[in-house]
Amino acid sequence: MPREPHPWLRETAAVLHGGDADVLLDLSASIAPLGPSPAAVAAARAAPLDRYPERVAASLTRAMGGELGLDPERVVAGAGAADLLVRTFAAHLRPGDAVVVVAPCFGEYARAARACGATTVRWSAPAKSGFAVDPPAIAALARQHRAALGVLARPANPTGVAVALPQLAELMAEAPGTRWVVDEAFIGLADDPRSSAGGDAVVVRSLTKELALPGLRVAVADAPPAVAGALRALAPPWIVSAPALAAALAGLADSGHRRATRAAVSAGRARLLTLLDQLGAGPTHAVANFVCAAGLRPAEAERAAGRLRAHGIAVRLCDDLGLRGGLRLAVPPPAEQERVERALREAMSAVPA
């Protein structure tokens, strides 16, 4: 009899994601509101399709190393953040290992752990504290379970709350036996874009989100040299396609478009947070390119999402992310801001107090 696949893979089901092509305005996936840089679009279209791209996307790792002040040997390219997360887990986990995840959070963390035969232990940030993290409590959990990996996002998804760099340093110092993975998928669109890269953690950054390139899967990870080497060893050659590589390089170089995007995020988010507060929806202190209403009951959130969909607007219900009743929506393009605000007022007014 041939060998069967690992039995735990039967339990490794796909997780939900944002992204709804059936609506006029999709705010369920948190993409930068101005769309991609025209230079990035032109570069993708001009990329050669009749020969292989760079084997390890070295031009991208050099560009991101320069931007972050890192040795390019620490930087690894990937086909989206999820690819780099899976490789990081595969490089560190054995069947039976434990992974601490800071929730509410992205479902791919638990899925990647299951794919390696590992288990996840959740530490949930309490709503009453504004979803703030407690480094000593998280570190104690990691020590208790002898966690091989610990994962948290800054800013967090779906709440948008950011972990301060001193808090992250405290966490790592109090659980030194755990390799920490920091998901900075949205950091480039945050109020404070300083990265935690350059230390002992594996830091993953999604250029798909930041550069509005969801159709072209591209991301980078920063890691200590030995870990970076392991991540490269796990990647098939030519992991980043020629169009994705060209678009990412051009998008990163378009500083004017990036500045305009951050300004649009800041202004649009402030308006949405003010409105959600006025509507009694309990918005979190989000600092990136999305907002999260955390003060609704699950039935209320579902009803509001349905009313918004009737207006042609998709938003993200957060139950599967560990936030029952949560409703996440991306900052819309500026031209759509007023329409979204009108739809939100109507949708929330239809929710019983």
Q: Which tens digits make up the pLDDT trace of 88-136?
A: 999 999 999 999 999 999 888 999 999 999 999 999 999 999 999 999 9
Task: Classify residue 222: in a domain, yes or no.
Answer: yes
Q: Are residues 112 and 229 in the same domain?
A: yes
Supply 91's token pair: 């490089």
Q: Are residues 181 and 264 in the same domain?
A: no
Letter for the amino acid at 325?
G
For residue range 267-299, list pLDDT tens digits in order. Answer: 999 999 999 999 999 999 999 999 999 999 999
Which among 209, 228, 215 is positioned nearest to 153, based on CA atoms?
209
Give 65-70 contacts, CB < 8 A, sequence gap 24+.
67/252, 68/195, 68/197, 68/198, 68/222, 69/198, 70/197, 70/198, 70/222
Q: Are residues 165 and 228 in the same domain?
A: yes
Task: Classify residue 323: in a domain, yes or no.
Answer: yes
Task: Classify residue 307: in a domain, yes or no.
Answer: yes
CB 211 within 8 A of CB 248: yes
For residue range 194-246, list pLDDT tens digits in order. Answer: 999 999 999 999 999 999 999 999 999 999 999 999 999 999 999 999 999 99
Among 195, 229, 253, which residue terminates a domain?
A: 253
Q: Are residues 282 and 313 in the same domain?
A: yes
Q: Specify whether the backbone of 190 is left (phi greater than 0), alpha (psi in -120 to 50) or beta.
A: beta
Task: Classify residue 279: in a domain, yes or no.
Answer: yes
Tallying the residues shown for the chain, one arrives at 353
| 3 state SS of 315 | coil
Residue 222: per-residue pLDDT:
98
Task: Classify residue 43: in a domain, yes or no.
Answer: no
Q: Are residues 323 and 221 in the same domain?
A: no
Q: Are residues 55 and 121 in the same domain?
A: yes
Go through 157-182 and write b for each residue having 16 or more CB atoms within 10 A of its CB, e for each that does not.
Answer: bbbbbbbeeebbebbbebbeebbbbb
Number of domains in the chain: 2
Among 201, 223, 253, which residue terminates a domain?
A: 253
Residue 20: per-residue pLDDT:
67
Instruction: Tell me the C-alpha distance between 208 and 189, whole Å.
Output: 12
Instruction: Tell me the C-alpha distance between 63 and 52, whole Å.
Output: 20
Letter for the amino acid at 124?
S
**For residue 319, what are the domain limits?**
7-32+256-349
Supply the CATH number for residue 126's domain. 3.40.640.10
Q: Are residues 15 and 121 in the same domain?
A: no
Least confident of 146-150, 181-185, 320-324: 320-324
Q: Are residues 27 and 88 in the same domain?
A: no
Q: Are residues 100 and 208 in the same domain?
A: yes
Instruction: Tell me the C-alpha distance between 220 and 83, whole Å.
Output: 10
For 62-104, what is the HEC assignment?
Answer: HHHHHHHCCCHHHEEEECCHHHHHHHHHHHHCCCCCEEEEEEC
Q: Are residues 162 and 310 in the same domain?
A: no
Check whether 165 has a pLDDT greater than 60. yes
Supply 242's token pair: 């020629």
Which among 345, 289, 299, 348 is positioned nearest to 319, based on CA atoms?
299
Supply the CATH number for residue 18's domain. 3.90.1150.10
Instruction: Identify the bridge partners of residue 292 per DSSP, sorted by sequence position.
Output: 328
CB 107 within 8 A of CB 320: yes
Considering the entire predicted model, what is its pTM? 0.93
Instruction: Tell me the C-alpha distance between 271 and 344, whole Å.
Output: 12
Place of tokens 């230390």: 199
Letter for the amino acid at 205?
R
Residue 14: per-residue pLDDT:
72
Task: Classify residue 1: in a domain, yes or no.
Answer: no
Task: Classify residue 113: in a domain, yes or no.
Answer: yes
Task: Classify residue 264: in a domain, yes or no.
Answer: yes
CB 81 within 8 A of CB 219: yes
Prior bond to 155 cis, omega within 30? yes
Q: Are residues 280 and 322 in the same domain?
A: yes
Q: Are residues 18 and 123 in the same domain?
A: no
Output the CA angle 336-186-85, nearest 5 degrees. Answer: 135
Among 253, 277, 306, which residue terminates a domain?
A: 253
